[in-house]
Amino acid sequence: MIIVLKPHTPSATVDRMLAAIAAAGCTPLHLPGSERVVLGAIGDERSLAALHLEVDPAVEAVKPILAPYTRVGREVHPHDTVFSVGTHTIGGGRFTLVIDGSLGAPWVPRRDAGSEPDRALVSVGYPPEAATVSAAALIVPGDRMRDARLLDAVAARGIPVFLRRGDAATLDEMLVAAEQIVAGGNGKVALVDGGIRGFEPTASRSIDFAAIAYLKERSHLPVFVDPSEAGGRSRIAPLVKAALVVGADGAFINGLLRGPLATLAQELGALAAVAGKEFP
């Protein structure tokens, strides 16, 4: 449930309502904005209905949450999530590249990601790995996206997580998986769309750029694109540039990129200036 309070509602009233939501056995969310305060309430709708929040004089509107996810949705959390991986900022209007599993400027020569703890991203496939691996951030592979035990394990680590979409998963299914991580106490989650399997014989996956727009519309989490399997070396750079224009927060690039990274960096910088993003 979303509770929109009237402008200039006193903080004492906000605290009272948050306490009432918690006393009803629900999870209260406090989302202050520039003009008004929005509260979120996650839990049994019957318990919330018993509070009769809609008749409170400080309440402007009460709206139900219709999506199967609440914590990662924009209905409850309208502002973009921004977090850091080492010294690198994810989200917040910045376009970030992950090159061969390591964060960094694209013109920097590739180095061993394992020797740079503030840059290394490590893919994990099983809960024990998630609990013990040393990394700046964890990657949940697409084929493990629905593994509830793994999602709970990466949530418990509390370090940034890049959640890959399964090649046969819907966008809402990916958001539901992200919801489980955030519900476990880890809000530093980024979504990674590597495309889905289709019928085109020239590529093992197809990138749907409408999916980026949908995810940015429905969720406040950063969205990355991985074009590695979308048609070979010659297509990676164009797809990365297209992702920036559509609104993605970053992209994964592997060693298959054709052409110097410095050239791509220059082109991304020019596009970022037009699209209103920061790069690098």
Question: Residue 196's pLDDT is what?
Answer: 77
For the chain, what's the residue count?
Answer: 280
Q: Where in the chain are the domains?
A: 2-63, 83-275
The pTM for the full model equals 0.78
Question: Residue 102's pLDDT is what?
Answer: 79
Q: Which CATH number fits domain 83-275: 3.20.20.70, 3.90.226.10, 3.40.50.920, 3.40.50.300?
A: 3.20.20.70
> Comparing 2-63 with 83-275, is the CATH topology the same?
no
Report the run of H or E that residue 273 belongs to, with start and end. Answer: helix 261-275
> CA nearest 231: which of 256, 252, 251, 209?
256
Rounded to whole angstroms, how far apart are CA atoms 170 and 166? 8
The alpha-carbon radius of gyration of the chain (Å, integer) is 20
- At 44-81, the pLDDT tens digits run 778 888 888 889 999 998 887 767 788 898 887 888 99
Asked whether 197 and 175 are in contact (CB, 8 A), the reply is: no
Please list the ranges in the chain whose pLDDT falls under 70.
34-35, 66, 104-119, 198-204, 231-232, 255-259
CATH topology of domain 2-63: Alpha-Beta Plaits (3.30.70)
Report the run of H or E that residue 265 belongs to, with start and end. Answer: helix 261-275
| CA distances in angstroms from 71 to 59, 179, 232, 276, listed in the order given | 21, 6, 36, 27
